[in-house]
Amino acid sequence: MSVKNVVLLGGPFDNTRFDRFDELAGPLIEIESDGLIHRYIPTKKTRPVGGDELPVFQFDGTVSPDGGLPGTETPRDRLASPLADELNES
C-alpha cells in the first residue's frame, strides 16, 4: 500500500494537510463539503508543512454530486436545452 501525507493548495481547503492519501485509490483527492465535491490534483511541487516537505495537490474545481456546476447550471436546465432534445431523439 502506498500511503503518504500531502498538502492541499487553493480552494476551500487551502494549505490543509491531508494525511494518509492512498495513491493506489487513484490520482485525485475528492472532498465532499456543504453538498459539493471539491477536487484536488497532484503536482510535482512540494511545500514545507509542520517540518515535513509534502507533495502539493492543487485545487481543480468544484462540482455538484448530481453533475451540475454550482451556480452555472442545474440538471433540469441541461435536460430542457434544445441539444438535449436532439440527443434524446437519436
**Per-residue pLDDT tens for 56-85?**
999 998 888 776 655 555 545 544 445 545
Indicate the average pLDDT of the chain.
77
**Cα–Cα dist 79/48, whole Å:** 46
Model pTM?
0.68
For the chain, domain boundaries: 3-89
pLDDT above 60 for 6: yes
**Cα–Cα dist 34/49, whole Å:** 26
pLDDT of residue 84: 46
